[in-house]
Amino acid sequence: MAHCPGRGESRAERGTGLVGRAARAGGTGSPGPHLPARAFVNRAAVVMPAPSAGRISDVRATTVAVPLEAPLRHANGVHPGYFVRTLVEVETDEGLVGLGEVGGGGNSAAQAVEALRPTLLGEDPYALERLRWKCANPVQALYVPLEQMFAAIEFACLDIQGQVAGRPVSDLIGGRLRARVPFAAYLFYRHVAAGAGGERDAETMVAHAGDLVARYGFRTLKLKGGVHPPDHDVEVVTALRRAFPAARLRLDPNSVWSVEDAIRVAKRCEPIGLEYLEDPTWGLAGMARVSRNTWIPTATNTVVVHFDQVPAAVALQAVGVILVDPHFWGGILGAKKLAGVAETFNLGLGMHSGGELGVSLAAMLHFAAATPNLAFAADAHYHHLRDDVIAGGPFRYEDGAIAVPTAPGLGVRLDADKVGRYAEAFARQGAYDYHQDPRRPGWFVVFPGDSERYAAPGT
């Protein structure tokens, strides 16, 4: 018959397990000769209350305009001297604040983020799948770039989770495999401004690359092409190869070339030894034609930006490298899912840059630290910025790499003074059209590019 504690006698008072049974049998609770001593250690079960993140009580968005060293030209337009980014703060009723960040192609995303506020209030910052479906279901996302808005929310929620756990975000997503993340020097043709810029030919671009290598230690160089005719970009990467024989080189014309031009350029670049040729033309079918006609791997951050595009890309063998961006893929966890898919199909994985400030860069660093198959140096416009909004100043490059934050959460906090200053700058300067060049009135891009659309070499 099972023994039950006597009336008025608790189980703790009677003893439990082997120790209790020995005491009830008249023993002292000491182990007998036939049982190991450790079997008789009676440890009281003490359940400590888990730290609480609380529930989401507020969502705030602030748009800032942070200056660049010089305007950055690309095949589709120009960044006219500053980046516009929207900072996101998610606060809980426990007083915790998580940070996120999102771009907008030169526009503020504050209204879109704040439109999610009623959906988020009262929610658990740990319930990320629930939040993803509430904020960014795929039908809704056909009309608004909700994945990017949700990514900023997810960054903030992971930041809160890390603060509660006392661990960096990289520890929450698998643990860091690298303490430092290597980056590429991002070489743009630049308009002149405040004594900087003016790169428009091989000589000036080589000088610019040399300055960046000397200042930051980059070992990978990426040319943002497509501004001038294709042969001009070939001349520039050829000069870069001569000047930096050990560097890894990439070329990205932002999809503006025709398939035929892309194949011709790829053939000319094969002796140069490009690491990959990024988005040489538009569309999966076009990329597949290019891929079949060169040994240089093709890479993309434009034709594979949703999971439903991956099967077609694999079937067509359209690309060799996918450039993941946690913003485009709905957050760090979405980017991790893509990394798993890329690993399954043995596709290369790099990381795209959309002009991040320190909050987004911290999220990207944590993702990169915990993603084993991120085999290429990451892209970042970061070295073009004159300042940042995070406390302590901008992240620092060392030997072409940036250290992954080790503090809990994302590991960065906002500098309130700088946020205020650059919010005022946005109010003063306003948004800009990413797809125009103020110095080329009336110009707009057409795919594929032609002699009338390209800027003349030397301009």
Please give the positions annotated as active site. 224, 352
Q: Going by C-beta distance under 8 Å and a sequence separation of 6 or more, which residues neighbour residue 388?
A: 66, 357, 358, 394, 395, 418
Identify the residue whose tokens are 């140069």: 272
Task: Tell me the one-letter amino acid at 399.
Answer: D
Query: CB-based contacts of 391: which residues, under 8 Å, 6+ apart?
Result: 412, 413, 414, 415
Query: What's the CA gap between 128 and 201, in Å, rounded?
Result: 48
Separation between Cα atoms, residue 246 and residue 432, nearest integer Å: 38
Peptide bond just before 33 cis, omega within 30 deg: no
Please report which helix (H) or strand (E) contains residue 365, including its range: helix 358-369
217 touches 377 (CB < 8 A): no
Of 63, 141, 79, 138, the C-alpha closest to 353 is 79
Per 3-state DSSP, the chain is made up of helix, strand and coil in percentages (nearest 5) of: 35, 20, 45
**Is residue 337 within a helix (H) or strand (E), and if so which, with residue range?**
helix 332-344
- What sign for the dihedral angle of Cα 425, 426, 431, 436? positive
